[in-house]
Chains A and B, each alone.
Chain A
Amino acid sequence: DTGVSQDPRHKITKRGQNVTFRCDPISEHNRLYWYRQTLGQGPEFLTYFQNEAQLEKSRLLSDRFSAERPKGSFSTLEIQRTEQGDSAMYLCASSFTANQDTQYFGPGTRLTVL
């Protein structure tokens, strides 16, 4: 059990560019979540997957955001045409149904849009 990992840890991009983040959950976990956290705020839910199915999306997830979990293992979060307001920490978490669905978080990807 190596924990939830995220890549990259930091990303600096220019406004208008596309970026993609990767999350590798704990291996037996069937649920995967994405959250966004801005300075001084708690994390806000973006979307979640059960296996490969995306079951819920927040209204925060505009049409510039897309998430996938193609084989029910790792997940990617893509932001197209980035805006300065997208600057935040993007957190991934995973959970396992039989473990009370305790969510375990990764270290996050810090995005800065210039």
Chain B
Amino acid sequence: KQEVTQIPAALSVPEGENLVLNCSFTDSAIYNLQWFRQDPGKGLTSLLLIQSSQREQTSGRLNASLDKSSGRSTLYIAASQPGDSATYLCAVRYGGSNYKLTFGKGTLLTVNP
């Protein structure tokens, strides 16, 4: 079964700290992996997309890495801010003509001022 797991389920850090969110997937034959942010009661905002041929992507203070052989991705957030508080979701598109995304349950991040 193709599954996505995110650890930890919740994380609380002081403002300014660098942090890492983890995502693991069961099948290494992925097409791409996408990280999303979700604010309470809202839709999803795409943060970064990594193709299967890539090792990492960066956008501002965010850096996402992909290691297909170990079935892992990480989202690194530098110099965290209270505005970063949200749920972060990892989603995998498994290969070929399978266009749907398989999501983890998310990591709820709280950045304390």
A residues with CB within 8 A of B: 4, 6, 31, 33, 35, 40-45, 48, 50, 55-56, 58, 91, 93, 95, 100-108, 110
Contact = CB atoms under 8 A, between A and B. Distances in A.
Interface of B: 4, 32, 34, 36, 41-46, 49, 51, 89, 91, 93, 99-106
The dominant DSSP class at the A interface is strand
Given A100-B32, A101-B93, A103-B34, A45 B102 contact: yes
Given A100-B49, A105-B43, A110-B41, 20 more contacts: A4-B43, A31-B99, A33-B99, A35-B101, A40-B105, A42-B4, A42-B105, A43-B44, A43-B89, A44-B103, A48-B99, A55-B99, A101-B32, A102-B34, A102-B46, A102-B49, A103-B91, A103-B101, A104-B46, A108-B42
Nearest to A31: B99
Nearest to B104: A42
A58 B7 CA distance: 26
Nearest to B36: A105
Nearest to B103: A42
A107 B100 contact: no
A18 to B, nearest CB: 24
B43 A42 contact: no
B15 to A, nearest CB: 26
A100 B93 CA distance: 11
A44 B105 CA distance: 10
Contacts of A42: 4, 89, 91, 103-106
A112 B10 CA distance: 26
Contacts of A41: 105
B91 A106 contact: no
15 contacts: A31-B99, A33-B100, A56-B99, A56-B100, A58-B100, A93-B44, A100-B51, A102-B49, A103-B46, A103-B101, A105-B44, A105-B45, A105-B46, A106-B43, A107-B42
